[in-house]
Amino acid sequence: MIKFLKSNKIIILLILFICIIFILNPAIYANSCLNAISVWALKVLPVLFPFFIFTRIIVSLSEFKKGKLDKHFNNIYHVPNFGFKIFLLSIISGYPMGAKLICTLHEQGQIEKKEAEKMMSFCSISGPMFIIGTVGVSIFLSYKAGIIILIANIISVLLNGLIYRKDKYVDKNLTYKGKKYENVLSNSVYDATISIFMVCAYMILSFLIIDVLLNINVIDNISKAICTIFHCSQNFETIRATIIGFFEITRGVIELNNVNISLTLKTIIASGLIGFGGISILMQSLSFLNKLKISTKTIVKQKLTQGLICTLITIPLAIIFIH
């Protein structure tokens, strides 16, 4: 209890500190918020919002019957019959849809906390629109780099799921009957609207924190410390961009692209960051999973192993296929 109170005091002090910094430089940090909103409106909203609606409708109307692929997937990952379908929807839609779908299934009484934890280990993944379109083509100007990152991310979640599959799933033969058609669309649109604005809020918070840490030289000092410890001062800009990506992947990848390093190294680092997802995505996922009361420690551990596996897979792929 004492530790909890102490941690709360630390968080409150940090928030008060950020508020003071914001008050001292309102123009700078207002611009940070506008930048976050701009990225959300141009890069996130057009892609995620339709998927939020469509996937919610699919889940609401579906009767998740077991197919051949579902049976094999169930046996390998020890998850319910619809694990494979949720996995595919997560890949198509990208962050943070996996967490959102799992939350929806829990609200409908189709999965319990234990199954939700397992599914998060392989359903939390970035989508092809962001990886190929935004990172590969728009930022790195390389379709090939985008394909490599996407392949590495898909393989990494499949391997990550094996680590956290734990006990075998006992099939309870639950069949969810869809909602009445007249309620599905309105409920789905309402739910999607709330969800997409939650994503916006967390992006604003992440951009704001990054700019505060940059302006008080915290990120630069950490980067210098890492350079000193590992005797790699020539890699300062790369380390700095990586730390920024650890908070928010889109901004981190943009910063990484401005560094004078090879496309191969950019691809490897970006792939690892996307596999982890960044603090921003982590907060978004946890907000959706709040009702399940899944341990933050569990989700962080899953994302760290996913990021590490993704990096290791990308290394040979990038070296072989990027020239």
Both tokens of 138, joined, read: 């728009």
Give the global pTM. 0.86
List, for residues 162-193, the tens digit of each pLDDT value. Answer: 999 876 655 555 554 445 455 778 888 888 88
Residue 255, domain extent: 25-169+177-321
Length of the chain in residues, anyone?
323
pLDDT at residue 283, as a whole number: 87
Residue 35 lies in a domain: yes
Distance in Å from the first CA to the final CA of the chain = 55
Q: Does 13 map to a domain? A: no
Residue 19 lies in a domain: no
* Span 201-252, pLDDT tens digits: 888 888 888 888 888 899 999 999 999 998 888 899 999 999 999 998 988 9
Say if 250 falls within a structural domain. yes
| Phi, psi (rounded to 5 degrees) for 58 | -60, -50
Comparison of pLDDT for 160 and 108, the residue scoring more: 160
6 falls within a domain:
no
16 within some domain: no
pLDDT at 182: 54
- Judged by average pLDDT, the poorest of 81-95, 172-186, 296-310 is 172-186
Would 14 be classed as within a structural domain?
Answer: no
Q: For the residues of 226-294, what is the DSSP string, one character each?
A: HHHHHT-GGGHHHHHHHHHHHH-HHHHHHHHHTSSS-HHHHHHHHHHHHHH-HHHHHHHHHHHTGGGT-
Let me know if residue 302 belongs to a domain.
yes
Instruction: Please state the domain count of the chain.
Output: 1
Please check whether residue 233 is in contact with residue 240, taking contact to mean a CB–CB distance below 8 angstroms: no
> In 3D, which of 171, 183, 200 has the Cα closest to residue 35?
200
Q: Look at residue 178 in the predicted model and tell me its pLDDT.
A: 47
